[in-house]
Amino acid sequence: MTSSATPSANPLRALAKAHQSPWLDFIRRSFVEDGSLARLVQDDDIRGVTSSPAIFQKAMGEGTEYDAQMRDILTHEIVSPGVLYEKLAVTDIKAAAHVLTPVYEQAHGKDGFVSLEVSPYLARDLEGTTHEAARLWADVAEPNLMVKIPATPESIPAIRASIAAGINVNVTLIFSLNAYKNVVDAWLSGLEDLKAKGGDLSHVASVASFFVSRIDNKIDAEIDRRVAAGDENAATLKALRGKVAIANAKMAYVYWQEIMQTPRWKALEDAGAQTQRLLWASTGTKDKAYSDVLYVDSLIGPQTVNTLPPATMDAFRDHGIVAETLGTDIANARQVMEDTQRLGLDLQGITKTLVDEGVQSFADAFDGLLGSVAAKQATLLGDKLTTLKTSLPADFQEAVNKGLNAWRKDGSIRRLWAKDASVWTNGPEAKWLNWLNTVDDRLNHIGDLEAFQAEVKARGFHQVLLMGMGGSSLGPEVLAMTFGKHEGFGHLYVLDSTDPQQVAAFEKKIDPHHTLFIVASKSGSTLEPNIMLAYFQDLAKRALKEKAGSHFVAITDPGSKLETYAKAEGFWKIFAGDPQIGGRYSVLSNFGMVPAAAAGVPLRLFLEDALRGVRMCDGSVPPASNPGVLLGTIMGVAATQFGRDKLTIIATPQIMDFGAWMEQLIAESTGKHGKGIIPIDDETLGGPKRYGKDRLFVYLRLATEHRHEQDEAISTLIDAGQPVITINFHNKRQIAQEFFRWEIATAVAGAFLNIDPFDQPDVESTKIETRKLMEAYEKTGKLPAEEPFAEHGPLVFFADQANAATLKGNTATAILKAHFDRVKAGDYVGLLAYIERNRETLEWIQHVRLHVRDAKTIATAAEFGPRFLHSTGQAYKGGPNTGVFLQITADDARDLPVPGTGYSFGVVKAAQARGDFDVLAERKRRALRVHIKGNLKEGLAALASALHDAL
Ligand SMILES: O=C(CO)[C@@H](O)[C@H](O)[C@H](O)[C@H](O)COP(=O)(O)O
Ligand SMILES: O=C[C@H](O)COP(=O)(O)O
Domain range summary for the chain, segments of one domain joined by +: 7-209+276-323, 380-428+612-753, 436-608, 761-950
Rounded CA-CA distance 748/414 in Å is 12
Dihedral of the CA atoms 531, 532, 538, 544 (nearest 10)? -150
φ, ψ of residue 338 in degrees (nearest 5): -65, -45
Is 472:553 a contact under the CB 8 Å cutoff? no
State percent of the chain over pLDDT 70: 99
Q: What does the alpha-carbon distance between residue 871 and residue 468 come to, in Å, rounded to a whole number?
A: 13
- 391 vs 763, more confident: 391
Ligand 1 pocket, mutate which of 28, 50, 175 (most atoms under 8 A from CB): 50
**Beta-bridge mates of residue 680:** 648
Instruction: Measure 24 CA to ligand 2 centroid, in angstroms.
Output: 60
Strand partners, 724: 391, 697
With a 6 Å cutoff on the Cβ, whether 469 touches ligand 2 is yes
Mean pLDDT of 373-389: 97
**104 C-alpha to center of ligand 2: Å?**
62
What separation in Å is there between the alpha carbon of 645 and the centre of ligand 2? Answer: 25
- C-alpha 648 chain-centroid distance: 22
Q: Distance between CA atoms of 836 and 697, rounded to whole angstroms?
A: 29
Helix axes 446-459, 590-599, angle to 10 degrees: 40
Give the residue-averaged pLDDT of 777-790. Answer: 93
- Establish whether the linkage from the previous residue to 866 is cis, with ω within 30° of 0: yes
Burial 548-587 (b: 16+ CB within 10 A, else e): bbebbbbbbbeebebbebbeeeebbbbbebbebbbbbbbb
d(CA 10, CA 27): 22
pLDDT band at 3 (very low <50, low <70, confident <90, very high): very low
What pLDDT, on a 0 to 100 scale, did the predictor assign at position 5?
A: 47
Task: Summarize pLDDT for 853-864 with one digit per residue, the tens.
Answer: 999 999 999 999
Same CATH fold, 761-950 and 436-608? Answer: yes
Give the model confidence (pLDDT) of 423-471 as tens digits. 999 999 999 999 999 999 999 999 999 999 999 999 999 999 999 999 9
- Cβ of 281 less than 6 Å from ligand 1: yes
Separation between Cα atoms, residue 671 and residue 760, nearest integer Å: 8
Class of domain 436-608: alpha beta
Q: Residues 197, 202, 208, CA angle at the centre, nearest 5°?
A: 100
CA of 68 to the centre of ligand 2 (A): 47
Asked which of 55-69, 414-428, 739-753, 829-843 is least confident by mean pLDDT, the reply is 55-69
Strands 491-495 and 463-467 turn out to be parallel
1 pLDDT band (50/70/90 cuts)? low
Closest residue CA from atom 11 of ligand 1: 282
Average of per-residue pLDDT values in the chain: 96
Report the alpha-carbon distance of residue 181 to residue 190 in Å, rounded: 14
Spatial distance between the Cα atoms of 65 and 57, rounded to a whole number of angstroms? 13
Q: Which pairing describes strands 790-792 and 795-798: parallel, antiparallel, or unpaired?
A: antiparallel
Distance 52 CA to ligand 1 centre (A): 7
CA 446, CA 467: separation in Å to the nearest integer?
Answer: 23
Does ligand 2 come within 6 angstroms of the Cβ of 794? no
Using the mean position of ligand 2's atoms as its centre, give its distance from the Cα of residue 902 in Å.
Answer: 24
Task: Give the number of other CB atoms < 10 A from CB of residue 780.
Answer: 9
Q: How does DSSP classify residue 232? A: T
Q: What is the ipTM of this complex?
A: 0.92
The answer, yes or no, to whether any atom of ligand 1 lies below 6 A from the CB of 129, is: no
Q: Is the CB of 57 under 6 A from ligand 1?
A: no
Half-sphere exposure of residue 558: CA atoms within 13 angstroms, side-chain side: 4
List 726's β-bridge partners, or say none: 389, 699
Closest of 56, 186, 949, 911 to residue 498, by C-alpha: 911
Nearest CA to ligand 1 atom 13: 282
Residue tagged active-site, from 148, 243, 573, 767: 148
Average pLDDT score over residue span 902-917: 96
pLDDT tier for residue 8 given thresholds of 50, 70 and 90: low
Domain 761-950's class? alpha beta
pLDDT at 61: 83
Instruction: Give the tens place of pLDDT for each residue, 169-221.
Output: 999 999 999 999 999 999 999 999 999 999 999 999 999 999 999 999 999 99
pLDDT band at 766 (very low <50, low <70, confident <90, very high): confident
**Listed range (113-122, 768-777, 817-826) with the worst mean pLDDT:** 768-777
Q: Does the C-beta of 148 come closer than 6 Å to ligand 2? A: no
Ligand 1 pocket member 364 (CB < 6 A): no
pLDDT confidence of 37, banded at 50, 70, 90? very high
Strand partners, 581: none
Three-state helix/strand/coil letters over 202-260: HHCCEEEEEECHHHHHHHHHHHHHHHHCCCCCHHHHHHCCCCHHHHHHHHHHHHHHHHH
Nearest CA to ligand 1 atom 17: 282
How many H-runs (helices) and E-runs (strands) does the chain carry?
A: 38, 24
Q: Please tell me the predicted confidence (pLDDT) of residue 762.
A: 87
In this prediction, residue 771 carries a pLDDT of 86
What confidence category does residue 843 fall into, taking pLDDT thresholds of 50, 70 and 90?
A: very high
Strand partners, 928: 886
148 flagged as catalytic: yes
CA of 496 to the centre of ligand 2 (A): 11
Q: Which ligand is nearest to the CA of 280?
A: 1
Contact in structure between 81 and 618 (CB atoms under 8 Å): yes
**How many A from CA of 207 to the centre of ligand 1?**
13
Cβ atoms of residues 245 and 219 within 8 Å: yes
Cβ of residue 209 lying under 6 Å from some atom of ligand 1: yes
7-209+276-323: what fold?
TIM Barrel (3.20.20)
Longest dimension (CA), the chain: 109
Hey, whose CA ends up nearest to atom 10 of ligand 2?
521
Q: Which atom of ligand 1 is nearest to the CA of 214?
A: 18
Residue range 717-744: mean pLDDT, rounded: 98
Across residues 755-768, what is the average pLDDT? Answer: 90
Q: Is the CB of 537 under 6 A from ligand 1?
A: no
CA-CA distance, 819 to 799, in Å (whole number)? 11
Q: How far apart are CA 359 and CA 353, in angstroms?
A: 10
> Is any ligand 2 atom within 6 A of the Cβ of residue 867?
no
Taking the C-alpha atoms of residue 175 and residue 244, their distance in angstroms, rounded to an integer, is 11
- Whether residue 529 has its Cβ less than 6 Å from ligand 2: yes
Q: Is the CB of 471 under 6 A from ligand 2?
A: yes
Q: How far apart are CA 721 and CA 701, in angstroms?
A: 20
Q: Say yes or no to pLDDT of 522 above 80.
A: yes
Q: Write the residue with the smallest CA distance to atom 3 of ligand 2.
A: 470
Q: In degrees to the nearest 10, what's the CA dihedral of 94, 97, 98, 100? A: 170
DSSP string, 90-119: HHHHHHHHHHHHHHHHHTTTSS-EEEEEPP
Q: Please report which confidence band the pLDDT of residue 287 belongs to, taking 50, 70 and 90 as the band edges.
A: very high
Cα–Cα distance for residue pair 101/113, rounded to 1 Å: 8
Q: If you measure from the C-alpha of residue 282 to the centroid of ligand 1, how many angstroms do you get, rounded to a whole number?
A: 5
Pocket flag, ligand 2, residue 475 (CB < 6 Å): no
| CA distance linking residue 511 with residue 501, whole number of Å | 18
Over range 613-635, report the average pLDDT. 98
| Residue 4 pLDDT | 46
For the chain, give the number of residues: 951
How many Cα atoms sit within 13 Å of 870 on the Cβ side?
Answer: 24
CATH number belonging to domain 380-428+612-753:
3.40.50.10490
How far, CA to CA in Å, does 770 sit from each of 476, 582, 623, 776? Answer: 26, 22, 42, 10
Nearest ligand to the C-alpha atom of residue 562 = 2
Q: Which ligand is nearest to the CA of 766?
A: 2
CB proximity list for 320: less than 8 A, separation 6 or greater? 11, 12, 293, 296, 297
Which protein residue's CA is at the shortest distance from atom 4 of ligand 2? Answer: 870
Residue 589 CA: which ligand is closest? 2
The pLDDT of residue 666 is above 60: yes
Contacts of 309 (CB under 8 A, 6+ apart): 25, 26, 283, 284
Q: Which ligand is nearest to the CA of 664?
A: 2
Q: Which of 432, 469, 561, 662 to mutate to test the pocket of ligand 2 (most atoms within 8 A of CB)?
A: 469
Spell out where 682-742 has E strands: 695-702, 724-729
Q: pLDDT digit string (tens) for 227-264?
A: 999 999 999 999 999 999 999 999 999 999 999 999 99
Does 170 contact ligand 1 (Cβ within 6 A)?
A: yes
Candidates 477, 518, 523: which one to mutate for ligand 2, based on the most atoms within 8 Å of Cβ? 523
- Please tell me the distance between residue 472's alpha carbon and the centre of ligand 2 in angstroms: 6
For residue 871, the ligand 2 atom closest to its alpha carbon is 1
Q: Which atom of ligand 2 is nearest to the CA of 584?
A: 1
Q: Is the CB of 470 under 6 A from ligand 1?
A: no
Alpha-carbon gap, residue 858 to 102, rounded angstroms: 75
Binding site membership of 472 for ligand 1 (Cβ less than 6 Å): no
Contact between 929 and 799 (Cβ < 8 Å) = yes
Q: Give yes or no for a contact between 144 and 353, defined as CB atoms under 8 angstroms apart.
A: no
Ligand 2 centre distance from Cα of residue 526 (Å): 6
pLDDT at 68 > cutoff 70: yes
End-to-end CA distance of the chain: 77
Among protein residues, the one with the nearest Cα to ligand 1's atom 1 is: 50
Distance 774 CA to ligand 2 centre (A): 19
Q: What is the 685 CA–ligand 2 centroid distance (Å)?
A: 31
Looking from the CA of residue 664, the nearest atom of ligand 2 is 1
Q: Is 592 in the pocket of ligand 2 (CB under 6 A)?
A: no
**Whether the CB of 206 sits within 6 Å of ligand 1:** no
